[in-house]
Amino acid sequence: MRGPKAFLALLLLPCLLAGCSLLNKAKNYNQHYFLKQQVAEIEAQLLASPPTLRPPKTLYLYDEKGTYQQQLSDLLHRLPTNDPLSQRVAQLLGDGLALLEGATDTLQQINAHLLMDNPTEASRLLALWSNPDPASQAVIALAQGDTLTTIHHLEELLKQPKSPLAYRAARLWHHLDASAQTPLHYLSRKSPSPWERFTASVDLGNNPTANTAEEQAYTTYRSALQKPDTLNLQKATEQLLQLPESEWQTAALLTLRPLLYQQEQWVTALAIQQALPTEYHADYPYLLLTEYQREIKLLQLYQQPSPSPTSTSNAQTTASPTTPADGSFRSKWGNVANVDNWAMQQSTSFRHTSSTLPTKPTFEQYQTTLRHLHLTLPQH
């Protein structure tokens, strides 16, 4: 009895092993399919995302803004290095070293060196390759400072309407020459980014309907550039400052800042200066706006509508006086430590405090402050 059972078990063993193998294959297949779907979703999101305002390292799709770095890094670690999908993920990640380590063709090697900011080696590989690639040629020429050759290769790509690189070529061309109409026409019709289609249409003067606050702000901003009078510039600035910080919003504020400064619209120029990211705060002469913010605050108080008599009466009733009426030094400044140069130090800090500003400056104070800023703040 034991003999036949043992024989039957031996017969069933290959079936069991085959079944386990099939289960493992199915499990690996399902896992790979899931990872492939995740990569495809990230690709679709990258395609539809608004463009950056910086030239790309390569025209082949990658995460230029770094939005999906963590997700892509996790995917790369879960894939075998010899899996073709891992090269695709390394490209999307913008990881030139990972792409180079698993590269299976010359194009991947070229892209890897471009992602590592090594256009010299990419150019050498491209010269040895029998298949010229306009996308790589364009980026290498740009890295070498040859803008005309770059645009020539970008034109080649736009003549290939089915190429997935065409819209990225149009985007780079527009970045290099904002007045060129060909890339704008292409982007307004075929860009996978709804925001880019809208902005390109506005730049062409087509006046598309603005459905969001961001689209309305962009429309107003472009109108202000075409007619940069005080009212348009202030309106554009107001709408831009209501938006969350973004790359294009910062670029727009940086464009408006010198226009407002030149027109001596100090209040609006200071609002931009304070809203910009910190790295722009030291730009000369705009850093002086912060130095003179007390005077500019006085201008703002004068330009604001006067409060109603009721609110003024209530404010006077509830507010307690901060300075005694006798005008003596001690009543004004309190008990002051006996240190050298106290008066000079107090005078310096006095500029940066708004506690002494009047509730509503007089016309004379307003005019005097305007003249003072006109004579003090340097022009370009």
- State the pLDDT at residue 337: 42
Q: Which residue has the higher pLDDT, 284 or 317?
A: 284
Instruction: Tell me the angle at which helices 247-262 and 266-275 cross, rounded to the nearest 10 degrees.
Output: 150
Give dist(CA 167, CA 59) in Å, integer: 10
Q: Is the pLDDT of residue 27 over 60?
A: no
- State the pLDDT at residue 353: 42
- State the pLDDT at residue 359: 74
Tokens of 174: 């527009």
Summarize pLDDT for 211-267 with one digit per residue, the tens: 999 999 999 999 999 999 999 999 999 999 999 999 999 999 999 999 999 999 999
Q: Is the pLDDT of residue 29 over 80?
A: no
Give dist(CA 175, CA 17) in Å, integer: 60
Share of the chain above pLDDT 70, in %: 77
Give dist(CA 97, CA 87) in Å, integer: 11
Give dist(CA 95, CA 98) in Å, integer: 6
Distance from CA of residue 278 to its chain's centroid?
14
Which bin fits 241, alpha (ψ -120 to 50), beta or left (φ > 0)? alpha
The residue-averaged pLDDT of 74-79 equals: 91
Q: Is the pLDDT of residue 339 over 60?
A: no
| Terminal Cα-to-Cα distance of the chain (whole angstroms) | 105
Q: Let me know the angle formed at the C-alpha of 233 by 231 and 235, rounded to the nearest 5 degrees.
A: 65
Q: Is the pLDDT of residue 299 over 80?
A: yes
Give dist(CA 244, CA 253) in Å, integer: 12
The DSSP symbol for 111 reads: H
The residue-averaged pLDDT of 98-109 equals: 94
Stretch among 25-29, 88-92, 136-140, 186-190 having the lowest mean pLDDT: 25-29
| Residue among 174, 223, 164 at smallest CA distance from 196 | 174
Q: Where are the domains of the chain?
A: 33-176, 234-305+350-380
CB 374 within 8 A of CB 264: yes
Summarize pLDDT for 152-196 with one digit per residue, the tens: 999 999 998 778 899 999 999 999 999 999 999 999 999 999 999
Per-residue exposure over 145-166, b if at least 16 CB sit within 10 Å of its own CB, e if not: eeeeebbebbbbbbeeeebebb
